[in-house]
Structure 1
């Protein structure tokens, strides 16, 4: 197993930060990876043979007594460590104390954003035994499916492959995924990693993915119903990141390492914190990662109110809190926060509630906790008991993972459970479900494979033959890659390729234009890549780079028939020219569709699959970004600065190309419902003054005359519900999946409230000529609540509305809410 060759290098540029994350096949005495003792791999710490090989008697260590509660065992383990040993285990490369107390080293850092990844320093690695793992579409693609069943399937397949690799000594058990930051600005470089711009959608993705990664379905242990959530066993530990208000990487003079996000409390509660609250409360995530940036002057990783007060106390985190890698160093080096040195920053972060410091590995650097923790305690800036508390959170998580006792239900998993045919088909299905049909004039799509005998495939080589681009960021080694060219050529053998490399497209465009005059169909595949949008690099505009607009128009103009345009990207692109050009008949957004992306594209283009995806973020025209800087954190319009507002919830201006939730189908759907309205009576308890809150009303409107304008959700029983059933009919000639989004809008007179907000969604398949009835039950406290200017979450009295569907297909009804004593 020993090797010194570098396996993988990912370079992330962020200001002065240059990070090379290297996965290496390490020797048996490495500090990284699963349990290796005296040259032998073990799947659990508390193995009598392992202790014997160390010259230790396991019977003398209470932390290995499986009959005792986890908490008692962890106390015994931490109590055996010296202060020096404790501090050495506060970094992501935990040193253990193997020779003295039998505790092995452990590598905490794992990545599994859209499949098992090796973009971490050695804990997860591929090689001859496990050459690759299933690489699913990027998160934004999966989010576009609006399908919680799919998200759970992806999380379950990923965690199974992790467990199989762990058994083989090729993976750890703690993974810092998913990324659930809301895409507030269309220029953000990391949009591909996230589920989009709506906090509810992002939160539901988090809950589904985390549950599938972590839950073990063995009755009482499964779900939130476990008697002791700190004893609930885990399949794999999942971590929601990056908390909080993080969505600026590198935009002109702004850099994530020194950026101070000026955020109103209302926006924190309503947008930036909400997905994390759902992840912790509903998903029971075992980890939260804090971000690089400061929030109103205080670094996120040293903010006791956010970490200890909110995450651990209010939301009841059953796990640990880790820093984004190098965040503690960033406080000193980049933010220069309060002039702190390493000792002071270490003490401040640990006191705030940070349990584990992920450090970087260049110029001999290491994490700050292990470098300065000992001094912090000895200088009286940090209590040893606070170190004990952090270690308790860490080792309790490993106890729940079976790191100490093993996990018999996963013991049989091995190499044959990675890259299975089932998982590869799941990746293809995820690619299909996430495709979004943006335009389809005169039913240009689907193409008829029986009538298309010759086809010109035109575009950038990196997209047509996308062995790399489709995989996106934070990917591992894929099982295989099916490119668009390979998949389309299987359907139409007479497929010619006219490809160019970025700017050198003039000659290619001429050749493509000539070819387009003679073939039965022309498909142009184009878009962005990770050099344009990625971690550490935000976009400067929303246009297609490398003169793509010009040569796409040239090919379209020369073509005998309207062409089809396929966009590979994460963030929205201003393709107004294509939407308005009748010679471009259809547009398909493919996102970054993963290893089976070519299959997904071909299946949709040729009608083997009817697209049903919807955009999880708004696509703006390029004029939008000139109206506000990326660094403005406000979601609502800022009148005195002329800022127009952000996301579908608050922007109502003219610069939207495709709205949030946009997506076409090859068939037609209609809605019917017997519901014409609803009324709900909410009874307020005896604490009237505490329960009732004021509202802000629009100028010129009549304020509510009710004695209680709004009820404070906190402290209310929240049993009230609104139910309705929607009939979805497929009136076309082809079966297809359809996403039903459900929004609510607050009373019209309430000021500064969202225009509408997503509160539920359901994806279902409806056969041609058939209908499906879809029931919805909305919690009044969740679905009709808004966040007032004072940051209280309240349900307004008066008439709200339920809005079902988007654009041309919609249905709505009023809901009258009375608040009475």
Structure 2
């Protein structure tokens, strides 16, 4: 370490953002209103030694951390720098105790930057399956592949963005704008990933609902003059009932890590927002794992540690700067008393407890066998420094039989939106396939970095949430193979802009025209055809609407298949009688063509349900991305004035028509719903939590001899830009480079930031119970209904349980349960779901707790949010 950042800057530099005072409006664009404010919450809660599900991991972590020196604890919490070694992010190793560097690696649907890995369907597609088992199996398979590559922490699953605005660029990485569907998908994915032996990282916490203005440098690169990132301004009730909900489900599932966001929440940066991290995440909901920063989302040193950040990624302040807010500065902060020992101990404890909870051991760590930076077999181990040339890629094949699972998920996540009888296909005489989205990228499926283009069939979006395809089966390939098998005539035109040729083909006798169209989206650091991550609009790309209208004017049996990250506008043509079927195939991953062929030909009876609403116009959604700064050159302000009313909740409140409602999806058979019954269970009264935590523990002593912390002798193999925990000098003042060195912690940090005494428990918290007050999960009702297959084919039905909470400010209905049931022709099966106290409660902002209101409540069971065949008042 050849320098150090001034400690005063690190301790307090952006503290006004971490714990801001109310400020006056900055300009007339804010209409003279006060900026949203995030109140301070300190100290940062320490681990609960008796937290249920974490007991064994805690003891193992305690035994390990008790042996660590201060330098080793700092090494564990600080990333080693962008490109310092093989993974997209790594911590420092502890060779004395045999702990290798921990590998943090994207992504939510594939192991990014490697080869011989699978590319799974995106989160939005697995959500459309409404199948807990498939959600778990996908998480487990992702965990298996990550473990096989030597990954310690897999950076997924995603509940932020939740999907506030359908134009949001990364909505497809997550699951659904409904918090219950997303929460269940989060929990199952977490369980699967960690059962496979890899720590899951729930991200991005919280309010990262658009790509525009999420980072200052990125925004300036696009020509926007801002000095701070966007602030998502979210009220307390909306936070609890909508955006926080799925993260709580991940906490209850035992998630080991949570990633904080680039953006601000109520004008406080997410990775130093003590309200989000200390209060909501760790105190109220008992999160026992560690909080990791998004890459370059850390803005302060001691202030972020005090606000609840546990791991800095990738470790440097700016990529390849070699500078760090932590590293040597964190060592110094503990030595001079700015940061108490209990806090660095808790940071290390949380990291190691998550490591052990996922079933990992120091003795059996899988070696990192790839380099994120290159697919070359040989190269520099220290990529940024260009040092230590050796073998860095072993090209380990981790795919197993996951292609079969991917094909199944993508088929069962395909939603049949319209069918007037043309499907399923039965050895059609003549099949004509139209559109670029049916064919290959002419330069190969991995030709665009991080999939940053839209050429050929769409398997996934773009950005850090992607991976390299081992292969990509196109619809043209798979459908042609099926046509050959059936003896059908088959021709394809894999272009959108060939009207003469397309008309000549599809207007022929007996043609079944299948048109493939798409829309794309991704992460903000890549601009694809003018879309800076977020979608510019909700229309189809490459003039897909014109293609559909043209083909359907020439062929009276036109089937449309849509690949997209979310809803697109179908208003101009969805009800055309010549369009006999419409399917949404989401973002299906590597088995794209096989899965859609399975559905079109009836090998899989469609049972996907749309995990979002299809509105008639862009404006009908009531929310949108903020595309232009609205606060001068200061932080853009995105006010969530719609509250909990997003997606179907908004459409219901506005009593607005929709094309296809949330939860909707057709089958090749039919079902009948009957015999709704509600059984009320006797449960105890809800008792707010009382009492206090333990006192903050410390593990082991550290030397106060400054000489023990100075960079080792010249023989030590120093690597350029690598982040170390060592000081430059025995003179701490000169090592910090701080002219104000010697100030006390009280002058840097908010009140109670360093208070390690026993703290009062929140009424809504669950002492020893991650996820909040355990009474929230008492089962208060069991709901059953009979589902009968009244058709001639076996199929899966997805009955859905909705609840009206009764209040004048409550949504008309909210999803509270679902199941996927296999039903044979003529068979009757029982749907069963439970309602917990949490399900029937509302967040009380005054009492800061969950309450069951006195308003009468009603249960609905049906096949979608607007086809609710059965209803009954909740007793």
TM-score (norm 2): 0.69
Tell me whether 1:587 sits opposite 2:549 in the alignment. no
Among 713, 722, 731, which residue is 2:790 paired with? Answer: 731
Q: 1:156 to 1:84 in 2, by over 3 A?
A: closer
SS at match of 1:657: coil
Task: Look up the match of 2:121.
Answer: 137
Tell me whether 1:240 sits opposite 2:202 in the alignment. yes
Give a deviation string over 1:256-298, Cα, whole Å, max 9, x none: 97011111101111111111111102x1101111111111111
Structure 2 distance, partners of 1:789, 1:84, is 38
Give a deviation string over 1:753-784, Cα, whole Å, max 9, x none: 121111110001111222212222322x1222
Task: Look up the match of 2:501.
Answer: 511
Among 144, 149, 174, which residue is 2:133 paired with? Answer: 149
Which structure: greater strand fraction? 1
Structure 2 distance, partners of 1:800, 1:497, is 54
Structure 1 distance, partners of 2:58, 2:210, is 46
Structure 2 distance, partners of 1:687, 1:189, is 40
Task: Look up the match of 1:630.
Answer: 625
Structure 1 distance, partners of 2:125, 2:549, is 27
Compute the displacement of 1:376 (Å).
4.4
Give a deviation string over 1:209-244, Cα, whole Å, max 9, x none: 11111137xxxxxxxxxxxxxxxxxx1111101111
Q: What are the ranges of 5 or more consecutive residues in structure 2 without an aligned counterpart? A: 1-55, 82-88, 214-218, 367-393, 447-457, 527-531, 627-636, 690-763, 766-771
Structure 2 distance, partners of 1:275, 1:429, is 25
Compute the displacement of 1:388 (Å).
3.3
Do the aligned residues in 2 keep the contact of 1:623 with 1:655 (CA within 8 Å)?
Answer: no
Task: Look up the match of 1:605.
Answer: 600
Do the aligned residues in 1 keep the contact of 2:99 with 2:362 (CA within 8 Å)?
Answer: no
Task: Look up the match of 1:456.
Answer: 432
Q: 1:670 to 1:546 in 2, by over 3 A?
A: same
Among 78, 90, 94, which residue is 2:91 paired with? Answer: 94
Structure 2 distance, partners of 1:808, 1:159, is 37
Q: 1:78 to 1:209 in 2, by over 3 A?
A: same
Among 103, 109, 113, which residue is 1:108 paired with? Answer: 103
Structure 1 distance, partners of 2:811, 2:624, is 21
Q: 1:463 to 1:803 in 2, by over 3 A?
A: farther
SS at match of 1:109: strand
Task: Look up the match of 1:797.
Answer: 854
Structure 2 distance, partners of 1:533, 1:576, is 28
Task: Look up the match of 1:347.
Answer: 302
Give a deviation string over 1:765-807, Cα, whole Å, max 9, x none: 111222212222322x122222356464221224211111126
Higher mean alpha-carbon deviation, 82-91 vs 524-533, is at: 82-91
Task: Look up the match of 2:364.
Answer: 406
Structure 2 distance, partners of 1:85, 1:800, is 53
Do the aligned residues in 1 keep the contact of 2:662 with 2:865 (CA within 8 Å)?
Answer: no
SS at match of 2:304: helix
Q: What are the ranges of 5 or more consecutive residues in structure 1 without an aligned counterpart? A: 1-65, 119-124, 127-131, 217-234, 332-344, 409-413, 639-643, 689-710
Q: 1:260 to 1:674 in 2, by over 3 A?
A: closer
Task: Look up the match of 1:447.
Answer: 425
Structure 1 distance, partners of 2:275, 2:594, is 48
Compute the displacement of 1:598 (Å).
0.7
SS at match of 2:423: coil
Task: Look up the match of 2:479.
Answer: 488
Which structure: greater helix fraction? 1
SS at match of 1:576: coil
Among 659, 667, 681, which residue is 1:665 paired with? Answer: 667
Structure 2 distance, partners of 1:256, 1:492, is 57
List aligned pairs for 1:777-792, cutoff 5 A: 777-779=834-836, 781-788=837-844, 790=846, 792=849
Do the aligned residues in 2 keep the contact of 1:472 with 1:594 (CA within 8 Å)?
Answer: no
Do the aligned residues in 1 keep the contact of 2:473 with 2:594 (CA within 8 Å)?
Answer: yes
SS at match of 2:326: helix
SS at match of 2:301: helix
Number of residue equivalences: 655
Considering Cα pairs closer than 8 Å and 6+ residues apart, tell me whether 1 or 2 has the greater RCO: 2
SS at match of 2:69: helix
List aligned pairs for 1:260-275, cutoff 5 A: 260-275=231-246
Structure 2 distance, partners of 1:498, 1:380, is 70
Compute the displacement of 1:95 (Å).
2.9
Task: Look up the match of 1:16.
Answer: none
Do the aligned residues in 1 keep the contact of 2:126 with 2:409 (CA within 8 Å)?
Answer: yes
Among 399, 407, 428, which residue is 1:428 paired with? Answer: 407
Higher mean alpha-carbon deviation, 304-313 vs 284-293, is at: 304-313
Structure 2 distance, partners of 1:237, 1:399, is 9
SS at match of 1:552: helix
Tell me whether 1:285 sits opposite 2:255 in the alignment. yes
Structure 2 distance, partners of 1:600, 1:191, is 22
Structure 2 distance, partners of 1:534, 1:669, is 46
Compute the displacement of 1:646 (Å).
2.1
Structure 2 distance, partners of 1:649, 1:626, is 10
SS at match of 1:663: coil
SS at match of 1:437: strand
Among 178, 183, 189, which residue is 2:169 paired with? Answer: 189
Higher mean alpha-carbon deviation, 646-655 vs 755-764, is at: 646-655
Structure 2 distance, partners of 1:764, 1:84, is 50
Among 531, 537, 542, which residue is 2:538 paired with? Answer: 542
SS at match of 1:203: helix
List aligned pairs for 1:39-438, cutoff 5 A: 69-79=59-69, 81=71, 92-98=89-95, 101-103=96-98, 105-118=100-113, 125-126=114-115, 132-163=116-147, 165=148, 170-181=149-160, 182-215=162-195, 235-250=197-212, 258-281=229-252, 283-328=253-298, 331=299, 345-359=300-314, 362-364=319-321, 367-370=324-327, 372-374=329-331, 376-377=333-334, 381-400=338-357, 401-406=359-364, 418-421=398-401, 423-438=402-417
SS at match of 1:276: helix
